């Protein structure tokens, strides 16, 4: 499908998704968010994507935030609906049957940071900046910034980032656990795609099950979390992929996973 604000390139089992509003620093307006939802719906329905990389067009921004020019002057009902749309976007990425790596090539502020947080993990260029500056506008994060950020970096850092609105460098984001690695910009996309390909080469049923356990158990106590994991372990062991993986290991050959 063709989109006005998103570019999609399929590289085997890896999907490269690019936010494509570079003149607006890839700001998240309703059209872009709606199209991004449509992209994920199509990839999920297609059933062949095993991992994805999400990045921004241009050399300045992953996404500089929500589109303030579109938001300005809207009433509470419209703003709440816009927040709900952003939350649907984050949930769709987070619960897709394949993982997403955010390749943050520049500014990831406000909604852009929240979008990156909905990915499984983040790789960042050395020039990248992260932040939740909404309080500077008299607002709060509306796309999951308060909720996902605290789970990623802990309460103290989430409070500082949200309450001051101050941005942080990629190096600081790495130090506090907001991103997984920082690399030169020229190496960012290639490295993220290589990581995505390594994931795509693993057992798809196992990757899906592991992601589900990691997502569903983060707020459970250890006893219930362990019970959830044990159930998932038993279920995934019944898959054809599991049998193929163990047989391939014994036979000392690469596994040929089918996602079944």
What are the residue numbers of the active site?
114, 134
Token pair of 195 as six digits: 């990581």
- Whole-angstrom Cα distance, residue 68 to residue 176? 28
Helix (H) or strand (E) holding 53: strand 51-56
Pairing label, strands 107-109, 61-63 = parallel
In 3D, which of 24, 22, 26, 19 has the Cα closest to residue 3? 19
CB-facing half-sphere around the CA of 5: CA atoms within 13 A: 18
What are the DSSP calls for 160-212, one per residue?
HHHHH---EEHHHHHHHTSSSEEE-HHHHHHHHHHHHHHHHHS-HHHHHHHHH
Contact indicator for 145, 114 with CB cutoff of 8 Å: yes
- At 222, phi and psi to the nearest 5? -60, -35
N- to C-terminal Cα separation, the chain: 27
- Whole-angstrom Cα distance, residue 119 to residue 132? 17
Contact indicator for 101, 121 with CB cutoff of 8 Å: yes
């Amino acid at each position: 499908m063709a989109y006005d604000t998103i570019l999609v390139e399929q590289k085997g089992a890896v999907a490269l998704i690019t936010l494509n509003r570079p003149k607006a620093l890839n700001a998240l307006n309703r059209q872009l968010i709606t199209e991004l939802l449509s992209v994920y719906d199509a990839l999920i329905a297609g059933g062949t994507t095993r991992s994805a990389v999400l990045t921004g067009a241009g050399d300045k921004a992953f996404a500089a935030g929500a589109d303030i020019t579109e938001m300005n002057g809207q009433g509470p009902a419209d703003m709440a609906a816009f927040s709900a749309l952003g939350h649907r976007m984050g949930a769709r990425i987070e619960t897709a049957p394949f993982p997403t790596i955010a390749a943050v090539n520049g500014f990831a502020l406000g909604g852009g940071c929240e979008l990156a947080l909905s990915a499984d993990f983040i790789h960042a260029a050395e020039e990248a900046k992260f932040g939740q500056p909404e309080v500077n506008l008299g607002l709060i994060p509306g796309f999951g910034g308060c909720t996902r950020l605290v789970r990623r970096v802990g309460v103290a850092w989430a409070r500082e980032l949200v309450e001051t609105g101050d941005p942080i460098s990629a190096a600081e984001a790495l130090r506090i656990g907001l991103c997984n690695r920082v690399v030169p910009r020229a190496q960012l996309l290639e490295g993220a795609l290589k990581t995505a390909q390594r994931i795509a080469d693993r057992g798809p049923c196992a990757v899906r099950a592991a992601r589900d356990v990691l997502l569903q158990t983060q707020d459970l106590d250890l006893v219930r979390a362990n019970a959830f994991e044990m159930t998932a372990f038993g279920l995934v062991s019944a898959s054809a992929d599991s049998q193929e993986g163990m047989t391939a290991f014994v036979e000392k050959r690469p596994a040929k996973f089918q996602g079944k």
